[in-house]
Amino acid sequence: MILLRLAMRSLVARRLTVGLTIFAVALSVALFLGVEKVRTGAKASFGDTISDTDLIVGARSGSVQLLLYSVFRIGNATNNVSWESYQDIAARPEVDWIVPISLGDSHRQFRVMGTTAEYFERYKYRSGRSLEFVQGRAFDDLFDAVIGADVAATLGYRLDDPLVVAHGLASFVSHDNQPFRVAGILAKTGTPVDRTVIVSLGAIEAIHVDWQGGAQIRGQATTPDEIRQMELSPGAITAAMIGVKSRLQIFALQRSINQYPEEPLLAVLPGVALQELWGIVGIAETALVAVSGMVVATALLGMAAMIFSGLNERRREMAILRAVGARPSTIMGLLMLEAVLMAAIAALLGIALLYAGLWIMRPYVDAAFGLYLPLEPLSSREGLVVVAVIVAAAATSIFPALRAYRLSLSDGMTVRN
C-alpha cells in the first residue's frame, strides 16, 4: 500500500514530465482504439449494406465491380442486362423473387435508381432490417420518386416537392419536361440507399422517351400525360437482386446464369463479393493498424526514455530506500510500478479521449462517409489492446528498472555523483 502511494506521490512530484509522457501514451492509445473503432465500424457497416439477397446478377464483369455499382452505387456498369434475359431468369423455377435495378441517371449529386415497388420489401440491410418510410410511401404514379434520408436532408426536400432528373451522371442536360414528385422519404439506414433517388423502372424509360443515343431528339417534347399512355417496357436493366426458394439452389442458379448462352452474365453471392472487396480494402486496414501500433510503441519508448533520464537524479532516493531495507529488486519493482501506473492512467485517459472524440465526430463521420460508429463499450479485442499497452509498458520499463537495480546495488546507501 505504502509503496503504491509512494509511486503515485513520486509521479505527482514530477507532474510536468510525467503528465506529458502520460498524455503522449494516452493520445497513442486513443488513436489506436479510434482506428479499431473505425475499422470495425467500417467493416460492420460495409457488411451490413445488403442482406437476405441470395444473388446479384449483372452483365459479365468482375464480382467486385458488380457489387460496387449495383449495391454501393460506385462506378458504372460496363454493360446492361437485356430485358429478355431478365425475364428468362425471372421465369426460372428456383427464383422466389427478383428485383430489377436500372442505374445511370442522377439528381443533383445523387444517383437515380429505377426499380419496382417490390424493392422496398426485398431490400434488406443490417441482418434483415427492412427499409422504412419516414413520410409518404412507395411510388404508385409513373413520376413518383422515393428519396433516401441523406437526399432529403441535403436538398431539404419534403413530400410532394418536385424534382428533375438529369440524364447521365454529372450532366447538364436535364429531363426538364418530366418533373418528378417526392412520394416518400426513407428512414436513415447507413447504407447507399440513403443517397439514392428511387423511381419506378417505367419512369426511367419515360424520361428517355424523347432521347435517342444519348441525345435529345430535336423539337420533340412529349408531355407527361402522353407518356402515361405509352407502353413503357424497358429494353434493358443494369442489374437484378434475386432471392431463391431454397438456399440449396443458390449455386445451381448461379452456375446456370453464369453460363447463360444468350448473353454474358454474371451472378455473385453478395456475402462472398463483400468479403472479396473487404480483402482489397483490408490491406489499407492492416497498414492503419500497423501505423497506430507504431505510434503506441513510440510513446512507450518515450516513457522508457523519460524513466531512464530521471534515474540519475533519483539515486539519492534509491539510497534512502535501500537504507530503510528495500531490496534492489523492490526498487526495480517500484520503477516498473510507476511505469504501469503511468500506462494505466494513460490508457484510461486514452479511452476517455476516444469516447469524447467519437461523441464529437460521430455525426460528422456519419454525414460525410455514411459510416455509423456506435458508442458501445470497448470490445473484448479493444480491451485486450488496452491490457497489452499496460503489459508493454511494464516490459519496456524493465530496461530502466534493471539499470536502477544495478545502480542501487553498486551505490548501496551512498551516492557518488
Partner 1 sequence: MNARSALALDQVSFHWAGHDDFGLKVPDFRLKPGERVLLLGESGSGKSTLLSLICGINAPQAGSIQVDGTELTTMRPAARDRFRAEKIGIVFQQFNLLPYASPMDNILLPLRFAPERRARVGDARGAALALTDALGLARAAMTSSTADRLSVGQQQRVAVARALIGAPSLIVADEPTSALDANSQSNFLDLLFAQCAAAGSTLLMVSHDERLAPRFDRSVRMKDIATLSREAAA
Give me the residues that bind partner 1 (CB under 8 A), please.
Answer: 2-3, 5-6, 9-10, 12-14, 316-317, 320-327, 329-330, 412-414
Question: CA-to-CA distance for 242 and 97, rounded, in angstroms?
Answer: 6
Least Å distance, CB 347 to partner 1, is 23
Question: CA-to-CA distance for 239 and 170, rounded, in angstroms?
Answer: 21
Q: Which residues are CB-contacts of 130 (< 8 A; sequence separation ≥ 6)?
A: 120, 121, 123, 124
Least Å distance, CB 415 to partner 1, is 9
Task: Considering the complex, state which of residue 67 and residue 334 has its C-beta at the smaller distance from partner 1.
Answer: 334
Q: What angle do CA 353, 369, 272 make, to 5 degrees?
A: 110
Least Å distance, CB 342 to partner 1, is 15
Least Å distance, CB 417 to partner 1, is 11
Strands 110-115, 215-216: pairing kind: unpaired
Neighbours of 115 (CB within 10 A): 27
Task: Considering the complex, state which of residue 11 and residue 152 has its C-beta at the smaller distance from partner 1.
Answer: 11
Question: CA-to-CA distance for 291 and 275, rounded, in angstroms?
Answer: 23
Contact 204, 383 (CB under 8 A): no
Question: CA-to-CA distance for 143 and 372, rounded, in angstroms?
Answer: 32
Neighbours of 173 (CB within 10 A): 12
Question: CA-to-CA distance for 296 and 389, rounded, in angstroms?
Answer: 8
Task: Considering the complex, state which of residue 18 and residue 145 has its C-beta at the smaller distance from partner 1.
Answer: 18
Task: Considering the complex, state which of residue 100 and residue 328 has its C-beta at the smaller distance from partner 1.
Answer: 328
Task: Considering the complex, state which of residue 7 and residue 112 has its C-beta at the smaller distance from partner 1.
Answer: 7
Least Å distance, CB 9 to partner 1, is 5
Question: CA-to-CA distance for 9 and 4, rounded, in angstroms?
Answer: 9
Bridge-partner residues for 184, per DSSP?
136, 146
Least Å distance, CB 344 to partner 1, is 19
Task: Considering the complex, state which of residue 280 and residue 324 has its C-beta at the smaller distance from partner 1.
Answer: 324
Which residue type sits at 65? Answer: Q
Q: What angle do CA 298, 301, 305 make, to 5 degrees?
A: 135
- Work out the burial of residue 59: count CB atoms within 10 Å of its CB; fewer than 13 is exposed, 13-18 middle, 19 or more buried: buried
Least Å distance, CB 411 to partner 1, is 9
The phi, psi pair for 37, rounded to 5°, reads: -65, -45
Least Å distance, CB 322 to partner 1, is 7
Task: Considering the complex, state which of residue 4 and residue 173 has its C-beta at the smaller distance from partner 1.
Answer: 4
Residue with cell 459510416: 371
Least Å distance, CB 375 to partner 1, is 39
Task: Considering the complex, state which of residue 398 and residue 409 has its C-beta at the smaller distance from partner 1.
Answer: 409
Task: Considering the complex, state which of residue 108 and residue 316 has its C-beta at the smaller distance from partner 1.
Answer: 316
Question: CA-to-CA distance for 391 and 302, rounded, in angstroms?
Answer: 16
